[in-house]
Amino acid sequence: MMSPAVIVLLLLAGLSESAGRILPLLARRAAVSRVGVPQPLVFGLLLTGAVVDCAVFALWPLAASALAEHIAGAPGTALAWTPVLVAPLVLAAVIAFPLIGPLLHALLILGVGASLVAPLATTTGLAWWPAAACVAGAGLGLAAVVDLFRRLVARITAGVALEVPA
């Protein structure tokens, strides 16, 4: 069970990550055309993205634990976020907010993933490298699912934004 502090930190990370992806797109769209995007649509996209990103962040250690249990063959304790583990994730999301260097953002996410490896290795009995592979595999799998979801939402909202009069 996650503590309230972890839930709040995950929500902040999800909201920040969502804003970091939506606001630059809106800024570019406003610069290209004077057709505005309806405010409810922007707010809806922001909240939807925040919930999706928060869910992905929350599922990352659980997916890594499930993958590690599958590899190790023995059931272990599911890895869970702690405030110490999730705090760098909030930092990574905040840095992504104004898009101050996607490379720095990727390095911070990599650091957060690396911080999950030692607890995962301890709970499952795997060596460090297989545990790192589980964390990376879970992260990449969840990122692929989110990317597909974002592309689907972008296609749907592109049609809606064009139909709504300014």
Range of the structural domain that residue 36 is part of: 4-163
Q: In angstroms, rounded to a whole number, what is the distance separating the alpha carbons of residues 118 and 113?
A: 10
| pLDDT tens column, 6-53 | 888 888 888 877 777 776 666 665 555 545 556 676 788 788 888 888
Please report how many Cα atoms fall inside a 13 Å half-sphere around the Cα of residue 150, on the Cβ side: 18
Tell me, what DSSP letter sits at residue 3? -
DSSP string, 89-128: HHHHHHHHTTTS-HHHHHHHHHHHHHHHHHHHHHHH---H
Q: In angstroms, rounded to a whole number, what is the distance separating the alpha carbons of residues 119 and 117?
A: 6
| pLDDT tens column, 68-84 | 988 877 677 788 888 88
What is the pTM assigned to this prediction?
A: 0.78
Q: In angstroms, rounded to a whole number, what is the distance separating the alpha carbons of residues 68 and 49?
A: 28
Number of domains making up the chain: 1
